[in-house]
Amino acid sequence: MTIYKTRQEIANEYGVSRITLFRKLRDRGVKLPKTLLNNYHIQLIYNALGPPQRNLSQDHILEQKTSSNKQDETN
């Protein structure tokens, strides 16, 4: 199954802007097409930059939402 992602989605995974992602890839010599990125291109990015780490600030927000939903359910 082919997966397609935008550059913005990839940048979000790394917690950087789309422009910063472009610069990091350019500095490492990675050239991408001007279309959506498929599995092959996504793997090129992950190989060049390493796997994206979870953004801890997003985890914190998710935990807050989850705990507030649980409180609402108990009331």
What is this structure's pTM?
Answer: 0.68
pLDDT tens profile 40-63: 999 999 999 999 986 555 555 455
53, two tokens: 């780490």
Beta-carbon contacts of residue 55 (< 8 Å; ≥ 6 apart) = 15
Question: Each residue of 48-60: b (16+ CB within 10 Å) or e?
Answer: ebeeeeeeeeeee
Confidence class of residue 64 from pLDDT cuts 50, 70 and 90? low
Q: Where are the domains of the chain?
A: 7-74
pLDDT tens profile 10-46: 999 999 999 999 999 999 999 999 999 999 999 999 9
